[in-house]
Chains A and B, each alone.
Chain A
């Protein structure tokens, strides 16, 4: 195939087809390969962090612990949380699905800065290894939030933790810049913002958060690192510093970060639900703009994590009200998805099952969030198991279910083959059962006052914890099935063709897996991708599935 660059400006975006294994699969510039690299790396870290989770559950089988020492237990849950947030959910949803899907959905041939993209990716496994290596030198013990003064006293690995999280932060920031420019500047002709697929809207709302919030975290981490290594006082109250300062800076990042972890998953939901209901998304604009609203408002609610930290009472009320308010755009989305399904012709594929599971479990977690936003309630349950209950409902029942749904949906695009639907259903059923059994009782434990992050606890809670641990094994089994399914189907899955779901966004109009240049001709777009009764709203796509020669350049 010959590649002819016809257009001066465009040529730099098209790297010639790479030759050789290293250029093709290791230091690749192709957004699709980079996306898959992210997904694989994140799954590897997912397995490691999952092992840590099982250590936690085994420890809690007995009221006085005993499986590992209390200090090791602290290290284990700290790294478990950090790894799941920074090495699994965020890279998977932004670097992974964002890279693989978004440029194609926009009708572009790559992201704006392919080199930067490659650098972002390679920072990520390095940071991950650094994070796990902190076990060798005394891992952090203050949880994924690493509040001082405890984080100032933690083992030497705490500094390693700072450096590792700083590095994934740099990776996120670069990805945010890259994606933002890509979405703003590289959409195919005719793809106005109000014709953009909702997954891209999710990424558009996420990118500024990645860029801005992550940088604030970088400052907080740098200060913690300097204080630990050089004794520069920022947080140590005995030297005039303030531990609450860390909390402000950390949550100024980490509240937006919870939206980094959910907005792309919202985007996946919109695609999956509309495709498998065979109906236009209900309230396209509301879904799109509520993402933007959530992203903006996400910067104004961070202190709801600090109601018990002694912040001034006049500050508490506005934060409570704003947190209530932010649930409104989230609710709008839920209702839009329900209305999309209403009267639709629902296809219960595995991907759709996970989307339905998302709707139920995420909504539940959102509601417990609204409970937490109410100061009188929060004062009662802050620091108890109610918080892990809430955060696992939104992060596992939300973000992770979104990732599973997206995997079953886009796997055929990545590999050209289906994942097994039968084992997919087994995965779904076991996962939901295990999930509910593990995390639902935590609400009750929290309301009863069992503190989080403890290696031993009041024996009256032992039977509940044992129950949770048993269910967590079921969840682990479900995830193992998922991995075997993926490994098996990469080579042996049923062939899927280019558009197995009858979807209408651009990535499904080209072969699976897509060729490195994505489109022979950049398409023009004249409508939304969700009108299932109309002809496709694209032109110039006639040659994509034929043997026509590739003419890379403007049409």
Chain B
């Protein structure tokens, strides 16, 4: 960063931020607005939940915590593999990076399968559905579905990143896409912590 001195005004750094910095900031702001999107639905859920019908509403059983806990473990595991994938890339350890990326993608897919199993049991066994089970179905399927969609997009993004890095788009000094992918994946993890707590723990 160049330092420029200004007549009568001391020094300021930099003419233009480099574009990587711009993109990182833009991406972070995008995540902020995504947080707001989730928060709004979470607010809606908590608001409805406290509207005086008791929770879960009469006639509806809570989904079992065991499967969800296993699923959470899978997702957090993928967060760890993602973290080490990036670390390895930075150190130039391309093979380990690739295999860790593959693990992350695989665990992500596993998480979605777990969610699929949960949804089908709820639907076929307990007859809980999105539109037919009052505010429970509405908030549960909307929020977890939104999160699942984010996981799905994340998986697609990671696949693209992996292909790009195989084709040598990124190197040790220039890996903005990978940083963004990691950030996004951790973001999806954190959202899940919140969803898990509000749907299964409290």
Contact = CB atoms under 8 A, between A and B. Distances in A.
A393 to B, nearest CB: 30
Contact of B48 (A185, A216, A226, A245): A245
Contacts of B8: 526-527
Contacts of A240: 48, 51, 53, 57, 134-135
Interface residues of A, number: 54
A416 to B, nearest CB: 28
Interface in B8-60: 8-9, 12, 14-19, 21-23, 25-26, 29-30, 32-34, 36-37, 39-41, 43-44, 47-48, 51, 53, 57
B22 A232 contact: no
Contact of A13 (B19, B32, B34): B19
B37 A178 contact: no
Contact of A189 (B4, B26, B39): B4
A223 B40 CA distance: 10
B144 interface: no
Nearest to A248: B47
A285 interface: no
Interface string A167-185: 0000001001110110011
A189 B29 CA distance: 24
B142 interface: yes
Contact of B131 (A112, A178, A232): A232
B130 interface: yes
B29 A181 contact: yes
Interface stretch (A3-11, A35-43, A436-444): A3-11
A216 B142 CA distance: 15
Given A185-B21, A526-B8, A527-B8, A215 B40 contact: yes
Contacts of A184: 25
Contact of A522 (B15, B39, B134): B15
A212 interface: yes
A233 interface: yes
A333 B32 CA distance: 30
Interface string A469-494: 00000000000000000000000000
18 contacts: A116-B26, A177-B26, A180-B29, A189-B12, A215-B33, A215-B34, A234-B48, A234-B138, A234-B139, A240-B134, A241-B138, A245-B44, A249-B44, A522-B15, A522-B16, A524-B4, A524-B6, A525-B9
Interface of B: 2, 4, 6-9, 12, 14-19, 21-23, 25-26, 29-30, 32-34, 36-37, 39-41, 43-44, 47-48, 51, 53, 57, 130-132, 134-135, 137-139, 142
Q: Which 4 A-B pairs have the closest CB atoms?
A: A219-B40, A9-B18, A190-B6, A526-B9
Interface of A: 7-10, 12-13, 108, 112-113, 116, 173, 176-178, 180-181, 184-186, 188-190, 192, 211-212, 214-216, 218-220, 223, 226, 230-234, 239-242, 245, 248-249, 252, 522, 524-527, 539, 554-555
